[in-house]
Structure 1
Amino acid sequence: GLTVIHPKFESFPLTLELVLLVLAVVVLGTIIPFQLFTNALKYIRPTTASMLDAFEPIAATIGSIIFLGLQLSGADLLGSFLVIIAVLALNWRPRKKKFTNNV
């Protein structure tokens, strides 16, 4: 939203190619994956789907390291570690204690 107030880029020509590329990103990168994720909930539990969804950025990072030669800084590693901890914390449920009536 702030791009309207403080534009970072010079204006660019609005061409058919640009519109098609933006539409491709929206459809291929957003609408179709969301629909696939929603349909997957018919077959797996929502907690499993959310865990897989949350670890996708980590899988993409590992793939970038292996296949593209990405070099991570200390801040990148710390951020990845914090994402993993947050996902595990959000999905962790303590076991319920069995109460016995010792009277």
Structure 2
Amino acid sequence: MTYALLSVVFLAIAALVLAVALATAPDRSRLLRRWWAPVLIAGVVVLVLTAVFDNLMIGVGFMTYDSARISGVRLGLVPLEDFAYPLAGLLLLPALWMLTRRRGRRL
């Protein structure tokens, strides 16, 4: 299995959980209006931190990737597929919060 395929699986699961959470949230339009900016800012921060620290970890030899299993597209030393996991986390965290929150309570 390639890292790209594994990344697609993680992102698909995260997107599915988010879709279910949004579909079942009675206040989804208010949530989307309120959350889009913080989630976008968090996404940028997490992706920048991933780029910086993954480059450092790969550079010193903490992590290696089999060249036959990556797409070959890299940002510095980091394979593009490595950014899927933080993106999946950014999708999953708000989704899980929506699915587990108590209804009727103010955000």
Q: Same fold (TM over 0.5)?
A: no
Larger relative contact order, structure 1 or 2 (CA cutoff 8 Å, min sep 6): 2
Higher-Rg structure is 1
Report the structure, 1 or 2, having the larger helix content: 2
TM-score interval w.r.t. the shorter chain?
Answer: 0.3 to 0.5
Normalising by structure 1, what TM-score? 0.33
